[in-house]
Amino acid sequence: LVGPEATLLVLPSDHLVQDQAAFATAVARARRLAEEGYLVTFGITPAWPETGYGYIESGEALTRSGDILGFAVRRFVEKPDAATAAAFLAQGDYTWNSGMFCFRADAFLSALARHQPQVSEDTRAAWSEGRCETDFRELTPAFAQVTDISVDYAVMEHAERVAVVPGDFGWSDIGSWTSFGALIPEDGSGNRVLGESVLEDAQHCIVHSADRLTALLGVEDLIVVDTPDALLVARKDRDQDVKRIVAELRHRGHDACNLHRTVHRPWGTYTVLEEGSRFKIKRILVKPGAALSLQMHYHRSEHWIVVSGTAKIVNGGADHLVQTNESTYIPVGTPHRLLNPGVIDLVMIEVQSGEYLGEDDIVRFDDRYGRVAP
């Protein structure tokens, strides 16, 4: 189903589920409860008295045809101290709060409007202003102004029909680089490494470097994460403070808070390969049948080189096809458009040159995704 009657499964992107069959069973139970109007969360059977997770206390069993689907939620508990966590474990009717949910869209939206009316109103406004094409919706910047609040705080702790489905499906909350490193085998010096690296006289370090060689010399207890977006070097005992770096970047208005090197658009993706004074190089992928807007730039010209596929180019008043290993040039101030008329992905290299190369130097004349100001 689509629309208000759709049942949604909401999952964080940084969790690990190792027993997929057991998880599928838990999801099936949650779906049955969600179809009855329950807002369902998933509780993880605790293996030790963890103080870093919130807990859920279970109430009466929710039985259907002799099968216990889950339990009514009695209460949510914030992260406890060690003694309280041990008591929860001994009591047996507490589970870790996984932050995963299952509910009907209309049930959640109704609860959100009742318990967080301003959040509901602001979210609906951002959604209605967004532009949609097939399965892609681009939200307006207004969405970033919606109050930052978790689903638990906003709705689950206040709603009337809330259920928990407990499970033990090899779940791990990969909420820090230390917990991520725990999934990587250790070497003889206690280092956990993903990617090509050289470690000399280094102990108990976590290294993630997928794209280039990383070398460590004479250090210990470090986290080194090298990605196309940024490089992080931190002491392991400070891994929970990475959010302070993010907060500072937001304070500075840095693009890294909003954009990755690879940016998704309704028509495909672009990846910034390199940029410097007066130039920027991108890899552009356009999906079959998709098209960029008819647009122009005041401050830059562009060279397009087709790597694979076929491009249909609108350049000024002329239309022509550009094949693999062919190129075209878009002068500054010239209306132009890029389309993929084929059945395979179109991949191009774009070289921008000019005095200003910001993404906001775009004047759109026509766009099938509704990104032209009325």
Please report the DSSP string for 34-91 in residue order. HTTT-EEEEEEPPSS--SSS-EEEEEEEEEETTEEEEEEEEEEEPPP-HHHHHHHHHH
pLDDT digit string (tens) for the chain, length 374 residues: 678 899 999 998 888 999 999 999 999 999 999 999 999 999 999 989 988 889 999 999 999 999 999 999 999 999 999 999 999 999 999 999 999 999 999 999 999 999 999 999 999 998 888 766 556 677 777 888 899 999 999 999 999 999 999 999 999 888 788 888 988 999 999 999 999 999 999 999 999 998 899 999 999 999 999 998 899 999 998 988 888 998 999 889 888 887 788 988 889 999 999 999 999 999 999 999 999 999 999 999 999 999 999 999 999 989 999 999 999 999 999 999 999 999 999 999 999 999 999 988 999 999 887 766 55
Q: Which amino acid is at 301?
A: S
Q: State the residue for tokens 């060279």.
A: 303
Cβ contacts of 155 within 8 Å, gap of 6 or more? 39, 108, 111, 112, 115, 116
Identify the helix (H) or strand (E) that includes residue 198: strand 192-200
How far is the C-alpha of 143 from the C-alpha of 204, rounded, in Å? 41
Q: State the residue for tokens 């009855």.
A: 36
Contact 57, 146 (CB under 8 A): no
DSSP-assigned letter for residue 342: S
How far is the C-alpha of 166 from the C-alpha of 46, rounded, in Å? 10
Hey, what long-range contacts does 118-125 have (CB within 8 A, 24 or more apart)?
118/147, 119/146, 119/147, 119/149, 119/154, 122/146, 122/147
Longest dimension (CA), the chain: 76
The two tokens of residue 188 are 């003889």
| Domain annotation for the chain: domains and CATH numbers | 7-173 (3.90.550.10), 177-248 (no CATH), 262-366 (2.60.120.10)
Q: What is the pTM of this model?
A: 0.71
Looking at residue 132, its pLDDT comes to 65
